C-alpha cells in the first residue's frame, strides 16, 4: 500500500511539473521575442526531446541561431524544418539570409526565389533578393525587386528607397536615384543626405 501511494505521488509530481513540447515552444518563442536567444534555444532543445518532428521548433531554433550569427547550424535547422514540411515558407527565406551571410549567393538566390514563389507578398524576400542582385551587378533586376519590396513592406521602407536609389545611380538614372533618396530622407534615413550631396544637383 505504501508503494502504491508513492507511485501515485510521483505521477502527480510529473503531471504537475512536467512541460509539454508545446509549452517549451511557447516559452522559447517568448524568449526569442525578448532577445534571449540562448534561452530560446534551450527551450527548443527540450521541446524536440519530447517531439522530435515539431516543425515550428526547428524554425524557431534556427531563427535564434541566426540571431547569434551561428549561420551553419541555423541552416541545419531550416533544412530539418523543410524536410518535415516543404511548405514551411519562412524557412526558405531565413535559410536564404543565412546562406547570404556565408557568401553562398547562388544558394541564397534560390531560396529567395522559392520563398517568393510560396508567398508573393514577402517584402523582405524581395528586398534581400534586391541587395543580392546589386552585389551581382544585376541593377535592373534589383530595381524591380525593390519596387515589390516597397509595395509589400510596412517596415524599413526608408532603406529600400535608399538602396533603390543606389541601383538607379548604377544605371545612370540619377533623376530616379535622387527622387528615391529624397523619399528615404522623408522616411528617416539620414544616409541619403550624403548621397544627395554627392550625386544630385
Give tens-digit pLDDT for 147-165: 999 999 988 899 999 999 9
Q: Which domain holds residue 84?
A: 19-119
CA dist list (Å): 43 to 65, 72, 86, 122, 154: 13, 20, 24, 28, 31
Establish if 62 belongs to a structural domain. Answer: yes
Shared-domain flag, residues 113 and 149: no
Q: What is the pLDDT of residues 63-106, one digit of tens each?
A: 999 999 999 999 999 999 999 999 888 999 999 999 999 999 99
Q: Is 98 within 8 Å of 74 (Cβ atoms)?
A: yes
Where does the pLDDT of residue 110 fall: very low under 50, low under 70, confident under 90, or very high at 90 and above? very high
Q: Is the pLDDT of residue 5 over 50?
A: no
Across 115-119, 134-138, 139-143, 153-157, least confident range: 153-157
Establish if 104 belongs to a structural domain. Answer: yes
Give 143-199 as a DSSP string. HHHHHHHHHH-SS-HHHHHHHHHHHHHHTT-HHHHHHHHHHHHHTT-THHHHHHHHH
- Residue 201 has a pLDDT of 82
- For the chain, the domain total comes to 2
Please name which of 33, 30, 90 lies closest in space to residue 56, comparing C-alpha atoms: 90
Establish if 4 belongs to a structural domain. Answer: no
Q: What is the pLDDT of residues 15-73, one digit of tens each?
A: 334 799 999 999 999 999 999 999 999 999 999 999 999 999 999 999 999 999 999 99
Shared-domain flag, residues 196 and 132: yes
The mean pLDDT of 178-189, rounded to a whole number, is 96
Amino acid at each position: 500500500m505504501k508503494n502504491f501511494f508513492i507511485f501515485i505521488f510521483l505521477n502527480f509530481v510529473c503531471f504537475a511539473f512536467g512541460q509539454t513540447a508545446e509549452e517549451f515552444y511557447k516559452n522559447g518563442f517568448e524568449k526569442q521575442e525578448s532577445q534571449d536567444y540562448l534561452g530560446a534555444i534551450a527551450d527548443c532543445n527540450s521541446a524536440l526531446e519530447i517531439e522530435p518532428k515539431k516543425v515550428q521548433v526547428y524554425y524557431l531554433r534556427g531563427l535564434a541561431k541566426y540571431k547569434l550569427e551561428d549561420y551553419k547550424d541555423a541552416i541545419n535547422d531550416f533544412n530539418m524544418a523543410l524536410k518535415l514540411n516543404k511548405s514551411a515558407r519562412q524557412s526558405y527565406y531565413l535559410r536564404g539570409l543565412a546562406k547570404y551571410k556565408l557568401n553562398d549567393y547562388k544558394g541564397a538566390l534560390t531560396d529567395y526565389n522559392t520563398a517568393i514563389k510560396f508567398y508573393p507578398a514577402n517584402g523582405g524576400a524581395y528586398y534581400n533578393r534586391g541587395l543580392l542582385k546589386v552585389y551581382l551587378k544585376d541593377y535592373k533586376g534589383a530595381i524591380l525587386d525593390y519596387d515589390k519590396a516597397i509595395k509589400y513592406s510596412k517596415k524599413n521602407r526608408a532603406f529600400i528607397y535608399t538602396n533603390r536609389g543606389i541601383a538607379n545611380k548604377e544605371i545612370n538614372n540619377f533623376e530616379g536615384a535622387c527622387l528615391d533618396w529624397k523619399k528615404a530622407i522623408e522616411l528617416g534615413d539620414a544616409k541619403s543626405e550624403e548621397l544627395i550631396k554627392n550625386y544630385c544637383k
